[in-house]
Amino acid sequence: MKTLLSLTALCTTLLSAETPSEVLRQFKKSAQAKDFDATWAHTAKFEGQPKVLTDYFKEEIRDFIELTNMGWDFEIREEKVEGDCAVIVINEHKKNGVDSFDLDPIYLIKQGDQWKVLPELTNWDEAKRGMKDQVAILEKLELWFNRRKAEIKKAENP
């Protein structure tokens, strides 16, 4: 019986494990629904950060919610995971209601067993204060993104 319960718990954990892309989709869906609390729940938090930084991050999320509700949208192109960090290549394909092609990164980190979107989305300058262990990995992912962006642009515009 004990083995069966352990196996059931393991299967539930594996089935509920979300990829960074799935979390980003939920983050975007919450923003499109204008649900700050749900969007904020998918956002990385850092213990011990000054209140002014938390307020700044919350404002970044509010700006994201506002953008999504003004016709801005993106599609997920690729995902790269390194340990507890990830970068997702997005194409901002709608800006002010107009089709566009603009590749950007969105960074995520794993906190506990859940992927969380970094509050600055396309960079991690301010968030790195709370991520001492992940900085080297994020730098590596940033380099990967820059190379990959050039490759995708070249393939899209030969």
134: phi then psi, degrees, rounded to nearest 5:
-100, -5
How far does Cα 74 stand from its chain's mean position? 12
Per-residue pLDDT of the chain (158 residues; tens, 9 = 90+): 444 433 444 343 334 469 999 999 999 999 999 999 999 999 999 888 889 989 999 999 999 999 999 888 999 999 999 999 999 999 988 766 667 788 999 999 999 999 999 988 787 777 777 777 888 999 999 999 999 999 999 998 76
Check: CB of residue 91 under 8 Å from CB of residue 75: yes
pTM for the full model? Answer: 0.84
SS3 43: strand
> What's residue 7's pLDDT?
41
Phi/psi of residue 146, nearest 5 degrees? -60, -40
CB 83 within 8 A of CB 69: no
- Cα of first residue to Cα of last residue in the chain, in angstroms, is 61
Q: DSSP string spanning 59-126?
A: HHHHHHHHHHTTT-EEEEEEEEEETTEEEEEEEEEEETTEE---EEEEEEEEETTEEEE-TTSS--TT
